[in-house]
Every structure is written in C-alpha cells, then in structure tokens.
Chains A and B, each alone.
Chain A
Amino acid sequence: MPSNPKYLCIVREVTAKVGHIHGIGEDLMEQIKLAVDEACANVIKYAYGGDVHKRIVIRYKVDRGRFEVVIEDSGVKADPEAIMGRRLEDVRPGGLGIHFIKRCFDIFEFDGKKKKGNRLRLVRYLKERNEDRYHGA
C-alpha cells in the first residue's frame, strides 16, 4: 500500500477478509484489524516520517493455527528497545498503538537481518491462548 493514511481503511478491509476466509471469529478479527492498522500507522508516522509517497508491503499467512502478518518498509530503522507505549494509567494523548498490537499478537519481532528499512513479523496463535495475558504492563 502507499504510505498514505487514506489507504489504512483498505488494510483493515483486507485484514478482516483474510480472517473471514479462514473462519476466524469476529471479536478476534476486530483486534487483529486494529493491531495491523496500528502497525501500518506506525510505519507511516515513524519509519516514513509522514511521507505519503512511500510503500508498505503487507503479507498474510494463515496456517496450522496461526495468523501471521509481515509488514515491510524502506524507512528509518526502528529501535525495538525503544518501542514501548505509555503506562496505561498515565493518561495523555498517544502511546496506545503499541499496546493494541501487543495485546493481540503473541510474537512481535523485527527482522534484524533486513538491511534497509524494517520487516515486522506479527504472529497470533489461534489455539489454546490465555486471553488475559496482556494488560499493557
């Protein structure tokens, strides 16, 4: 997708359709849709600094009880150590997106081998998962 926020609605639609095709429940798909949207929004804001003319590549893979999304950009490298949301008790604008991603996905990892830009891999296991494991701590 182009790195323009106006295309985020398409990402959400496609994400929901992929889930629907694979029979994933609506409640979970709402969470996944939000998390993928937030991850792409972070690329637009931070990796591309708001440049709307770049490119984001999103790949989906659903098999053997897992929903995987890989999001690639060619922007500024993210520092995984520095990515943390605000404490949820600390009420102020911003800092929530990463919580929405991490509460939904079991794996959140950047591919350190990618030379230019970022490759973020998100994996959600679809079975035997403790729904209450993440509280934004």
Chain B
Amino acid sequence: MNLTLKIWRQKNANDKGKLVDYKINDVSPDMSFLEMLDVLNEDLINKGDDPVAFDHDCREGICGMCSLYINGEAHGPDRGVTTCQLHMRMFKDGDTIFIEPFRATAFPVIKDLVVDRSAFDRIQHAGGFISINTSGNTVDANTIPVNKHDADEAFEAATCIGCGACVASCKNSSAMLFVGAKVSQFALLPQGRIEATDRVLNMVKQMDEEGFGNCTNTGACEVECPKGISLENIARMNREYLAASLKG
C-alpha cells in the first residue's frame, strides 16, 4: 500500500518543530509500524536527509521504550499493543497517518518523536520499592503465602511497562494510572504493606512536583494502555492516599 505520513520534526528541545509530509510506497501489511519507519529512514539516509528520530528497543511490546502518538492515539489505532506491535494491516492504501511524540509538560521533546520520561523514574525513586537489602538472607519464600487472587492482581498491576501512554492520552496529562499501578502492586502484597503509608505519600508528592495533572475519571488512560492496566488501580491509590493522609 501507499501512504502519506505527516511526521513531527523537531531538531532539539529548543526548536519549535512542525509536521512534515512524506510519501511512502509499497508498504507490506505484515510490517510493524516501526519497520515501516525503518524503511522511510533508510530512504531518507540514501537521499542525504536526516532520518526521523524515535525511541524503540525490544520491539516485542515489553520494554516500554516506543512512544508514538499516531492519528491522535497513543500507540495508534490497535488495542492492547505498543507501537512496535502495531502492524500496517491496521491501515489501508491511500491513508494519511499523523505521527507525533507523546505530549505532556512533564515529557519534554528531545528530538522529533523522542521525549524525556525521566519524571517516571523520579517518581519510582521516591518510593517504588520495598526497603529490603539484597543479601538473600531473608525468610524462605514459602513462609510468606499470598492469597492467589491478591497475587494475581498485584501481578496485573506490575505488568505496567512505564511507556507513558496513559499520560499522553489524558487531557490533564495525569500519571495516576502509572503511579496507581506501582502503589497497588505493593499495597496488595503483605511484603509491601509495611511501608504502604510512606510510599503512597512520597510517590504522589513527587508526581505532583513533576507537573503531571489530576485525574478526572475520563478513563482514556485505561483504553489506551497497551497492557490493560485497570482504573481500579487509581481508585486503590486514592484509598491508600486518603488512609495515609488521615494517619499522617
């Protein structure tokens, strides 16, 4: 198929940036979206132009590095996938595709489609852990039985890949799905309960300092999340936060 791409080009953080049109022909439906961009870049390099910068690494939907906003949706029109798992069979011949970076005040653009998501790391530094040394001299793993339902729910929350689609999809650029997932993983496990109060207070404080917006329950984050992280995690974080604040 033949396509028109409208791609956000921005030389660096200080550049204003603009959409630039590219034509690409003979795209195979079996290509992934990023493979399509590889072909475009190969062509640009051969013509002596600057290739389009975009983040990517594992290309199997787990590292969370890829971060494209395609036709107005984080990771594009398919559901339950990252950009690297989006395949060109989702598009048709003659389509025009808009490709932009994830946009949020807390995610400044570095170049073209590459953004800085280090705010997510800083939220994790504030409390995304259980304070235990890694000596291995803990109790035997099976002396901490965990109700299977809770273990499964903790796992579901822990499958967040930290890509930032939730932030990019939210009209308020809220990071509450991301933070809620981490708070929930630990809140659901007996190992994590011990520090639960401090954790939620510290992580939420850092989240606010990074300039993420508030949650107004539109649910866009859950729809666009490539891992299907549930809104329940936000509700759980709010309960944890309220309880912690009252204790505090």
Partners in one complex: no
